[in-house]
Structure 1
Amino acid sequence: MRTPLFGIAREGYPLIIPPLLFGVILLLLGFTATPIFLILVGLFCIYFFRDPERPGSFAPHQLVSPADGKVIGIKRHSEGPESGVDVVQICIFLNIFDVHINRSPVTGTIADLVYRRGRFHAADKDVAGLENEHTLVTVDVEGGPRIYFKQIAGLVARRVVFWGNKGDRVEAGMRIGLMKFSSRMDIFVPADRVDIQIQEGQRVKAGVTVLGELRA
């Protein structure tokens, strides 16, 4: 998958370079307020698109957080993305100050990948998971169940980015995409195949926090 450039996600540079460049030019021309604003915007984008290294080693049965943020929901549903399968849904909300690089929650093969355009409700609302722009990724876990995770755009986020393709092999903790500005990540796991180890309100880190243990 894609690697960062100087610790910054490559998608961030089109939003970083222009305001910094024009800010410096205007500053040299004697302007003050506008160039300072532009430089601050550029510096914030550097911060937002940061992509820290997180080398981790996980067991095949561990479910790893795919996103930084706060767990705003752990819910059980009689049916998830796959009809007829009881699932546990874990919802992680990313605020604008969180790292927005996403990582694979499991080791396995991408069985399906669906991107849908949609609306931009606030990401912490239930309706966001249904109506907002999103990418739904299906992964067949090696020696385990089929799991799903969904990148969901939010009120501020206007785009979700996934770097993989159907048939790609992913490893737990591996970079797989990003979401631009505040957004949400949902994970769906068969309810009878997982032991959850986190709780609502807890903060988690992508590629670091173990969300639960998968059962064969």
Structure 2
Amino acid sequence: MSGIANTRIRAALFTIPLVATGVLGTAAAPAGATTSPPTRPLTCRGEGVNPHALVRYRTETVIHAPLRTVWKLQTDVERWPAWQAAVTTMKRLDHGPFRKGSAFRWTTPVPPHPTTPATSLKITSTVEQLKRHSCIRWTGPAVGEGLRIDGVHVWNFTRVKGGVRVSTEETHTGAEVEADVPTATKLLRQGLEAWLRDLQTAAEAPTPDRPH
């Protein structure tokens, strides 16, 4: 970011969407979301996810809102807790515009898992590549009791008729997630789809200048 075990494996890490917006469970995909296997990985300024990672997922949806609105929500990371219930704390580690080199530290709860106890993941994300209103790629570790995940998260934003296509892809590596790839992948899927759903809800919410 845009973990293992909560309804938003938030990786984001960067997303780690660690199933973080709830608990292990099935998160509904955003309206219009598609998860067809892509022919090529997403990239930002030529860089993509970890090509060797065993845990990976990609999805996208069309959000019916201006690109500037979607971009602002995603890059104003200090306000994530206002629209993402899974983000319990957030702190920017730098100042000024969100840019390459920006870093932020945030936490998300993780319920118990067969191989790890309930914990809170502390995620440190660093923006490696960014193109305004087009793409973001961040990386970083998510660390909790008995759990460490290294994630790479790529976001693409493309203007389409009626709104913005938001595409996201993330990979996770680490001994705990690699011990059960199917479960880790399922959790990552739930996390990314939940993230898109929350982003869509926030971006499409009526405002004084954009009535419902």
For normalisation by structure 2, the TM-score amounts to 0.31
Which structure's relative contact order is higher, taking Cα pairs within 8 Å and 6+ residues apart?
2
For normalisation by structure 1, the TM-score amounts to 0.31
